[in-house]
Structure 1
Amino acid sequence: MLRLTGVVLGLASMALGVAVFHWPDPMLDTLEDSLYVNHFSPASTFALNCTARDNSTIAAQWLRLAYHDMATHNATTGLGGMDGSIAFEYTRAQNIGPGMAESLIDFAVSPNQYVGMSDFIAMGAVNAVIGCGGGPVIPFRGGRKDATEAGPATVPEPQQDLASHIDSFKDQGFNETEMISLVACGHSFGGVRKVDFPLIVTEDVPTGIQTFASKIGFDNTVVTEYLSGSTENVLVVGSNVSTRSDLRIFSSDNNATMQRLASLDTFNQVCADLIGRMIDTVPSDVQLTEPIEPFDYKVTLDTMLFPQGGSLAFLTTLRIIENGKNQTVTLFWKERTGTFCPSEGCSISAFHVNTGVEASLLATLKGVQSFNQHSFNASIDLATSISHFWFEVGNNDGSAPIIVDNHGTNFTIDQDVLIFDPRRSSFTIAGEFMVVGVKTSSPVDVTAFVTTTGPIGGVNPIPMPSNTTISFTLDSAHPPADGYTFYTSDRLPNRYSSSTLHATIDGQAYSLWVPTLSALGV
């Protein structure tokens, strides 16, 4: 047998320095889904084909949001950067325009307890560049931490002089040449709206916006038009001389950097590097992951264990990158106590294979066209339970089967004492209520730490995740069964994204992370 010592990393498996997924890892799980599976990354489609909004494009708004969030960074103190503080800053004059709030709302439904708004803002920049004009692929790292308050007002503004701009970018960690390049990259699409900046756009513009370049989309037209003297970039040739910030920046080294960026290949290479550095600029106490590539083999979020009719129902799904092979997958598991399975483990074949799960644009640019999902519904002996599981993938071509076993450690079921029961839970128009089972008849206090998303507040809502704790009560509608006593939650908040169950049972503390019921298909 060909044993894979874990979950292999797609087309980047031969590359050095990529994130390795050890199940369970809710952060990497969430981010990889959001990057590469369309079902889990609806916001990524918003920027495709340079979708228009507010006389601009969503892609341009997303890239502006990311830079303005990062601009709080101070390379000397290590404070600020890509930390989501823009959610507390977007009403400032330097962040004027509806695009800030709208972009934050685009991402507000995505965070959960393990992945914050700042990771999705950074992901938005990656999708903006490839989705509008087919720009370069920028590696994505995860693990940003969301701020809880506003950062300093350090976004450079058009009326400032060159020295101020150089100082601002230096504080952010970019030298003068990098400043020129990053401004050119950022201004490859988008423009200045007259309604927001009437002192900059002084002429009447029928479209409501003076674009930086004549071509909408990520490329170096902003550079070539500047060098040829044909530019209509209002920050270069606008009638208000004091706000010609692009002119001051672009010409600050006698156009040497702009001349180099006139090569599209060079432009794409430089922009990929600088925008990547921009979104990776984080507070010094934050450690980002290695770049996240599509996982060849991945146990999905819908793995669950719960009592049902005298046994334990075990549901899990293995997602595989479509590779053109006629693959079959077998699930194996071993018992927790006692002896029930044969020496090679109990096993079962998939009851359903969902082929052609749509990949995101980013995934297709990495050579991944779609995914196949092999789903299992195993009946586990109630007395012996389950301790761990693994998969055997056969190519049906005479080659040895591939063993997928979480880097040689197997996929471990840590405990079966506190469980989430999807069949007894409810997900209806009347609201969502979780039901959990505990393996004791003694009274137990069960709570859930719940993360909610979406705008919070009144006139200027803060579109950041928030957390609350809800309680569970003994569930009279579901009497004890199969050794479990059942508790039901208070009604779950609207827009909740995940919850972590907590209970102390027979003197031992247990916890269990549960995504939304809808994400689990309940």
Structure 2
Amino acid sequence: MRLSDLGVLCHLTCTFYLVLGATVFTWPDPLLDTLDDQLYRLSTVAGLAVNCTPRDNSTISAQWLRLAYHDMATHNGTTGTGGMDASIQFEFTRAQDVGRGMLESLTDFATSPNQYVGMADIIAMGAINAPIGCGGPAIPFRGGRIDATEAGPATVPEPQQDLVSHVASFQAQGFNETEMIMLVACGHSLGGVRRVDFPLIVTEDVPTGFQTFASTVGFDNTVPRRSQFSNVTEYLDGTTQNVLVVRSNITTRSDFRIFSSDGNVTMQSLASPETFNGVCADLIERMINTVPSTVTLTDPIEPLDFKVFNTSLYPQGGSLVFLATLRIIDTGVNRTTTMFWKERTGTFYPAEGCSIPGIVIHEVSSLYAQLKGVTAFNHHFFNASIDLATSISHFWFEVNDNDGSAPFIVDNNGGNYTIDQDVVLFDPQRTVSTLTNSSEIARMVVGVKDAPITTNVTSLTTISNLTAAPFTRSVINTFELDSSFPPADDYTFYSFPFDFSDTFPLSHTIQATIDGTTYSVWVPGTGT
């Protein structure tokens, strides 16, 4: 999109403020920005589980929910250790964590973390998307979990253990006996047991080698293939085929021991679909919020009324290109938007700032967002040409509903959207990706303004190993002067090649020190 396609104009504006929504987003906030994207954008990993997507004779939802519980099960409420901390990355080869779904789920999530959002948050997010994908309720989500760097204790309950052991395990995790029954019933509404993993449990002739816990696979009894937790109703009416209830190996009938431990009082209380959904939503939320005592989670992350994202500033053709997107919840109003900005140096722009209108792109929201009443977002895209000499210090927006009401201002909660520096800039136009016979190589390019010959440009890059634990780690990369891009527009260009054959870059903090001052820029994603 060229600047001429949009037009640049300067004009006066009125100032009004709109306060909506529960979540306050003060830009930039990489943690909240990333989690919001993962929760509410349609093009995220959550889409893998929509419609109870089958995999390995089970479902992706069942695999994600099991992974989350097994990760949380290391928690010890007395010592305040363990819980949802992604230690499962180091534990999935244990006998108690057996199952191809564990590694498959971790691989599903491998490219979602970054420097600010760890695998533990993504696993927890998988646990709320699992029931949603099979017709279940929306569960509140909080972020800020911290990834463990080693395995936790081997405390996952196993089918051959007796009831006393199971009660003790769940109590250590923070759940009493009644809650244990409920949580097991919720978790075993999805999935089942695979013979290759548990040959002493699935001993009968099962053609697929996989025995489901229930005859249906989901939560919602209004849709074929989905039912409210039929493992409960089938257990109560005696028709269940749950191998942990009725199969020949009495020792491994762990669900029967747990469900019947209070004379079926708790199971009978769960026979109502509404009760079951409510109870399971509450317990899954508690499960994913079970974290080490040193971790403080955020407030629940609700859809943001206004969110700035995909910002980029880089030199091109004698000016600075500034790209930004303002996301607004679609309420059916025919809104138009204008972005304003002010200079960093000099007085080139008038007091009211220079401005450019936005181009609107409609985007359908995620299923999670739709359950919260947000069917879609409108993305207002801006492409501004910034004078090199004056640069840009901050920007803000005017929003007009075009209904006769006065326009209002979106300005980062009264603080404006500040551009901290223009010395070190990621350059998406010069960054290129090259395919070879065996891999893809991306040459990431950054520009450094008025760079001395001895400038050292480095990045702290978070990468994913894709197939091996730990899935994410951080490395330091040194950028080299790139002779294929001659200095231009007062910037000198440096690059670093990333080989995607066995790793995947998730985010970068790029920095350089000029005349004793360190400048940095954070780049989410692969940079390509």
Whole-Å Cα distance in 1 between the matches of residues 72 and 104 of structure 2? Answer: 18
Query: 1:488 corresponds to which residue?
Result: 495
Secondary structure, aligned partner of 2:295: coil
Q: Which residue of 1 aligns with 2:399?
A: 393
Alignment-derived partner of residue 178 in structure 1 = 179
1:72-110 deviation per Cα after TM superposition (whole angstroms, max 9, x unaligned): 011111111111111111011111111111111111111
Which residue matches 2:257? 248
Residues 13-66 of structure 1 deviation map (CA, whole Å, 9 limit, x = unaligned):
2xxxx5421111111111111111112x1x212212222111211111110000
Indicate the residue corresponding to 2:326 in structure 1. 318
Q: Give how far 1:207 is off.
A: 3.0
Checking the alignment, whether the CA contact within 8 Å between 1:451 and 1:497 is kept in structure 2 is yes
Q: Does 1:453 align with 2:435?
A: no
AA partner of residue 35 (structure 2): L
Counterpart in the other structure of 1:342: 350
Matches within 5 A, 1:365-514: 365-429=371-435, 431-442=441-452, 443-456=454-467, 461-462=468-469, 464-491=471-498, 494-514=503-523
1:38 is the counterpart of 2:42 = yes
Residue 328 of structure 1: how far off its partner (Å):
0.7
Residue 482 (structure 1) shift: 2.4
Q: Contact (CA 8 Å) 2:504, 2:526: kept in 1 or not?
A: no
Letter in 2 for 1:382: L
Question: SS state of the match for residue 389, structure 1?
Answer: strand
The answer to whether the Cα contact below 8 Å between 2:505 and 2:526 also exists between their aligned partners in 1 is no
Q: State the Cα deviation string for residues 193-230 of structure 1 (Å, max 9, x = none).
A: 12221211221112322221122213221112212222
Alignment-derived partner of residue 333 in structure 1: 341
Partner amino acid, structure 2, of 1:501 = I
Contact map agreement 2:50 2:133 (CA 8 A) in 1? yes
Pair 1:267–1:441, CA change in 2 (3 A):
closer
Contact 2:424 2:449 in 1 (8 A): yes
Mapped to 2, the partners of 1:248 and 1:93 lie a distance apart of 21
1:47-446 alignment, distance < 5 Å: 47-132=49-134, 134-218=135-219, 219-300=228-309, 302-350=310-358, 352-355=359-362, 357-429=363-435, 431-442=441-452, 443-446=454-457
Using the alignment, how far apart are the partners of 2:413 and 2:18 within structure 1? Answer: 4
1:455–1:463 Cα contact (<8 Å) kept: no
In structure 1, how many angstroms separate the alpha carbons of the residues matched to 2:169 and 2:24?
A: 36
What does the per-residue CA deviation read over 1:248-286, in whole Å, with 9 as the maximum and x for residues that have no partner? 111112222111111211111111000000011111111
SS in 1 for 2:33: helix
The alignment yields a C-alpha RMSD, in angstroms, of 1.6
Deviation at 1:306, TM superposition (A): 1.6
Is the CA contact (8 Å cut-off) linking 2:343 and 2:349 kept in structure 1? Answer: yes
One-letter code of the match for 1:347?
Answer: S
Return the letter of the residue paired with 1:30: T
8 Å contact kept, 1:105–1:463: no
Contact 2:308–2:325 (CA under 8 A) maintained in structure 1: yes
Tell me the amino acid that sits aligned with residue 505 of structure 1: I
Cα distance in 2 between the residues matched to 1:489 and 1:98: 36
TM-fit CA distance, 1:371? 1.7
Q: Is the 8 A contact 1:72 1:154 kept in 2?
A: yes
Provide the identity percentage: 66
Paired position in structure 2 for 1:3: 16
Shift of 1:2: 6.7
CA contact (8 A) 2:341 2:392 kept: yes
* Distance in 1 of aligned mates of 2:383 and 2:510: 23
* C-alpha distance in structure 2 between counterparts of 1:80 and 1:441, whole Å: 47
* Aligned residue pair count: 500
**SS across alignment from 1:29:** helix
> Partners in 1 of 2:351 and 2:75 — Cα distance?
57
Higher mean alpha-carbon deviation, 30-39 vs 509-518, is at 509-518
In structure 1, the gaps of 5 or more residues are none
- 1:429 positional shift: 2.2
Q: CA deviation at 1:310?
A: 2.5
| Counterpart position of 1:23 | 27
Confirm or deny: 8 A CA contact 1:317 1:374 kept in the other structure.
yes
C-alpha separation between the residues in 2 aligned to 1:194 and 1:473? 54
Between the aligned partners of 2:16 and 2:255, the Cα distance in structure 1 is 56
Q: 1:491 to 1:51 in 2, by over 3 A?
A: closer
Please tell me whether the aligned partners of residues 194 and 209 of structure 2 are also in contact (alpha carbons under 8 angstroms): yes
Distance 1:326 1:317 in 2: 17
Between the aligned partners of 2:47 and 2:346, the Cα distance in structure 1 is: 50
SS of match in other structure, 1:50? coil
Aligned CA distance change for structure 1 residues 463 and 148 (closer, same or farther; 3 Å): closer
Give, in angstroms, the shift of residue 424 of structure 1.
Answer: 2.1
TM-score by length of 2: 0.91
- Between the aligned partners of 1:336 and 1:508, the Cα distance in structure 2 is 17
Give how far 1:489 is off: 2.0
Task: Give the counterpart letter for 1:184 in structure 2.
Answer: A
Structure 2: 5+ residue stretches without partners: 1-13, 220-227
Query: Separation in 2 of the partners of 1:478 and 1:370?
Result: 41
Q: In the alignment, residue 449 of structure 1 is paired with which amino acid?
A: L
